Amino acid sequence: MRLYVQGLKIRSSQPTRSRLMFLSTRNKIIKINMSQNKTENVDARILSLASEVTEVSNQNVPVLLLKLKEILKTTPSLSKESKKLKEDLYNYDLIQYCVLVLKQDYSRVNGGWATAAKLAEILSNCCVGLDPSEDVEEFYNKILPSAVDNLLFLGRRLQARFIRAIKDEEKSEFLHFFRTVTDSLCWLFGGHIQLTVCVLQCDHFLQLLMTDDVETGITVMSVLQNILRVNSTVLFQVDESILHCILDELVFKLSSATNPVIGNAATKSLLVMVESHQPLVELLRMRYRGLRALLSKQWTGKGFGRELGRLLDLLYSGSYQKVEMQRLHQAACLVQAVWKGFQTRKRLKKLPKAVTSLQRGFRAKREQEWLHFKRLKEEEELKQQLHLQRRRAMRIFNEKQLTLLEIVHAGQVDKHMQEMQEKSALMIQRHWRGYKERRNFHQQRQALKQYKAAVTIQRTAIRFLKKRRCIREALSPWKGPAELTDARRLELHEKIDEHLRLHPVSQLSEEQSKELHVRAQETLGQYLLKRRLQQKAELCRKALLAQINTDITMLMNAPGLKEATEKHLEVFTSRSMPVAAKAKQCHNTLLKYTRWPWWKKLGDEFMDDEVVPKELPAVEYGTLFIGGSKPSS
């Protein structure tokens, strides 16, 4: 019997490297081949829970996984039945689901963050005491480190919500959830000692330690002490930069805090680190030169003298520096203090101008980061939805395949499987060839662009040359005869011979032939000159006709005298001297006619005075002439 259990992809607003690595291993369908007897040995509650988890939506998965607590209570913690039960949970991917759902946002899940704390406790109980027989490398190298990372990430979320909480009830509730998660983490690396290195090297642990809150800071420092008690050699396996970061934070807490509880926890943590890693004594003396004086003056008599005395004894056990070196060190500190004070005062004078710029830059950067984060979140959600749809489609397809296999006769199964393999091979070949062709196309895209550009340039050049050839043929005065065929050439020769036979001509001398050629060339030149003058005259005629048509259109569209303005006057202003002279003559004639007595207006004799005088009057271009006045522009 084959049971197909499909992995679940959890929506997370902040994807991490460990989550992506874990999801990449869950991209295949887990096929568990079991016999009927082995399936009967599996707890029915596990089978039903596994089927329910694969069917429900992501938000309801954490609530369903809480049923694991009741399943685990049915067997003793270290018995064979418990180990068998945990191995079945691992084989059916329920432990993997617990690891993944820890990164969900539990503000939208039923039960809230209490569900997250319970799931952390369930996960630690399931992993401790589990030694799977299958996929051992995946369990120890991927699932357990991912569980540590997700537990620390959940602790960071709870710590942030505890700090932002206002009411005392909310604070106590989130503090209880935070301590439950840290206890689960301690229980997990207590059962798997190799995880202590993962905890110290995780960035979330350092960020949990770097907090100003008293309660959560004490809890994190207690986790550090538990790590060193479980594995005293863990500091030898950690990078030196991580040790420096942890020591910097502990010394900072001792130098800045005034609460004895913080001082006691930081002192105990430093003492445990120094006792488990002896080279740290010299590092503390060289890296933090004022630590001994700070511990002696600030924390003496605060209620934890025993641990403080042991730490001071370890720090004082080395050789003291010389007095001269101390004096030089103090002098250097004094010079640095004076210089830093001068620089600080100088910066404070420029601070009012810089604050506005800093605030503007910070707000713009924060807005940019928020938009980038929102876009990444939308892309991640879209990818998760597509992946989930793909998995569901694959699961439905596999179910259909199983149904078809049940229908097919046993003798036809091999033939059916062979056909499926051939179809799969064809599908793989088709996709590979398509990928190969697309890759070759992308590689040849630049050459294709160059080819298209060359074709475009050639096409443009050919069009340009064709236009120039047409213009040259149109302006050419002589066009050669069309090509003659042999039959046409014989026909023309016969006509010429017939014409010469009917019309004999007198023979011309060489001088007469040259004279005739010269006259023909002169006649041809005169014809070409007249043709060019005729073309110019034709162009002038067309230009005058176009101008007359334009003037007629303007006159027809001209407004009346009552509606006319200066702009309309500029339209009818002429820049031609003969036109202006003729207009002035007509205007003067009309004025003279208006001044005549009535008996002279009985005839049409005033219309004879329309001859333009030979001497044109003094006029200017761009003027309008009015009778009895000077020209005005």
Q: Above 90 in pLDDT, residue 374?
A: yes
Which positions ≥6 away from 15 have C-beta within 8 Å?
380
Task: Record the tokens describing residue 447, joined without a space.
Answer: 């050459």
Q: What is the pTM of this model?
A: 0.47
**3-class DSSP assignment, residue 624:** strand
Residue 297 has pLDDT above 60, yes or no: yes
pLDDT of residue 610: 43
Lowest mean pLDDT among 223-237, 415-429, 453-467, 471-485: 471-485
Q: What pLDDT sits at residue 185?
A: 86
Q: What is the CA 171 to chain-centroid distance, rounded?
A: 39
Tokens at residue 555, please?
Answer: 């006159």
- HEC readout, 407-468: HCCHHHHHHHHHHHHHHHHHHHHHHHHHHHHHHHHHHCHHHHHHHHHHHHHHHHHHHHHHHH
What are the residue boundaries of the structural domains of the chain, listed by start?
1-233, 239-320, 413-461, 521-557, 565-633
What digits encode the pLDDT tens for the residues 14-40? 333 344 333 333 433 333 333 333 445
Mean pLDDT of 462-468: 93
Say how far apart CA 151 and CA 144 lie, in whole Å: 11
| Confidence at 482, pLDDT banded by 50, 70, 90 | low
Candidates 131, 122, 126; CA nearest to 154 is 122
Nearest to 591 by CA among 604, 569, 606: 606
pLDDT tens digits, 529-553: 898 889 999 999 998 898 888 878 8
Residue-averaged pLDDT of the chain: 78
The label of the residue with tokens 């050699």 reads 233
Residues 202 and 219: their CA atoms lie apart, in Å, by: 17
Between CA 390 and CA 361 the distance in angstroms is: 43
Judge residue 196's burial from the number of C-beta atoms within 10 Å of its C-beta, 0-12 exposed, 13-18 middle, 19 or more buried. buried
Q: Tokens standing for 69?
A: 């607590």
pLDDT digits (tens, 9 = 90+) for 401-423: 788 777 777 777 788 788 888 99
Q: What phi-psi label fits residue 620: left (phi over 0), alpha (psi between -120 and 50 degrees) or beta?
A: beta
Closest C-alpha among 147, 44, 23, 151 to residue 92 = 44
Q: Is 132 left (phi over 0), alpha (psi -120 to 50) or beta?
A: beta
DSSP 362: H
Asked which of 114-123, 220-229, 274-283, 618-627 is least confident by mean pLDDT, the reply is 618-627
- Helix%, strand%, coil% for the chain, nearest 5: 75, 0, 20
Number of CB atoms found within 10 A of residue 226's CB: 20
Rounded to a whole number of angstroms, the CA Rg of the chain reads 52
